[in-house]
Amino acid sequence: MKVRDFTTIENKLGMETRNSAHHHAWLVHNGVTVVRTKRSQGDRKFIPEHLIRKQLHLDSRQFAELIACTLKLDGYIKILIEKGIIAPPESSADAAQ
């Protein structure tokens, strides 16, 4: 995986980032951090794609779609809801009770 692919994922998902010994990125959804990932510093470092994919809770096909820009933030959120990483939104009928 190339650094620019990692950066594309960060930008597409609107992840917050911080640099220290590594480059950290995390996704905040409804005020809660739901996924975290990191890569080594530097533009020429090897990024272990399988580790990033697992940290983002995606299978190989979904990860390829994320890199290829066919999977957007709303689709990614749906995947996380289906996998139980994010609680599903309350329906208006549930909220009224």
Is 47 in contact with 55 (CB distance < 8 Å)?
no
Give per-residue pLDDT as tens, 31-69. Answer: 888 888 887 766 566 677 888 889 889 999 998 888 887
Whole-number percent of the chain with pLDDT over 70: 87
Q: Give how many domains the chain has, as a whole number.
A: 1
Q: Establish if 90 belongs to a structural domain.
A: no
Q: Establish if 93 belongs to a structural domain.
A: no
Q: Establish if 71 belongs to a structural domain.
A: yes
Q: Establish if 63 belongs to a structural domain.
A: yes
Q: Establish if 36 belongs to a structural domain.
A: yes
39 SS3 class = strand
Residue 78 confidence class, pLDDT cut points 50, 70, 90: very high
Domain that holds residue 31: 3-85
Structure token pair of residue 94? 């549930």
In the chain, the amino acid numbered 33 is T
